[in-house]
Amino acid sequence: ILPEATLTRYGRRITDLAEPLDGPFVTGLAEAAKESGLSVVAGVFETGPGRVYNTAVALDETGTLLAAYRKIHLFDSFGSKESELVLPGEEPVVVELAGLRVGLITCYDVRFPELGRALTDLGADLFAVIAAWGSGPMKEEHWATLVRARAIENTTWVAAVGQAPNPETADGFGIGRSMLVDPMGVVHTDLGTTPAVRTCVFDPQITIATRNSLPCLEHRRLQVGRS
């Protein structure tokens, strides 16, 4: 799993550097996936009408593009205005990769619990959260708290992969802190703030045990608050 904005860092240049999903960048990812025998999730900027889409692509180990999720919630907060350059997506996406049903979430999306719940209802075993999280006061705390909250409330594994900070740039995007969190909210790995790659173990038995002891998804009262 690679971060949001893997194709290029954020900036007004994304409208010039965006590509169609059959363009050279995703084609290169597909070739790398096939060569390594690994499934891949990565964030790209996809050409769109007038603006671009902030898209998470999911490719299987043969290099086949199985899904593309266009970011639904755009980061018009903390002085940023993503919607000036990016068109919003409309549909949640769950894709089967390496025997897992993976729900795709991009950066600011993680602040919206209804998206995580929709992905859970679509059968996600794991959320892949990709981000180029903006830095600033309390932002690292927000990231870590929100990632764990999405895991706990949905009793679902979360692999949250954040762009590492680059001291040579002044755009403020990227705090690192890539994490794997289990359905009880236990952080199994935290890569800190420096660039790193790590292989982690997903154990579906933890999901089963958690949901047996904490069946909160079964306790929802969907009629509450509805007229």
Tell me the catalytic residues.
4, 71, 107
User: What is the rounded distance in angstroms from the CA atom of residue 96 to the CA atom of residue 102?
Assistant: 6
3-state secondary structure 65-85: EEEEEECCCCCCCCCCCHHHC
* Contacting residues for 108 by C-beta, under 8 A, at least 6 apart: 71, 73, 74, 75, 77, 82
Work out the burial of residue 16: count CB atoms within 10 Å of its CB; fewer than 13 is exposed, 13-18 middle, 19 or more buried: exposed
Work out the burial of residue 81: count CB atoms within 10 Å of its CB; fewer than 13 is exposed, 13-18 middle, 19 or more buried: exposed
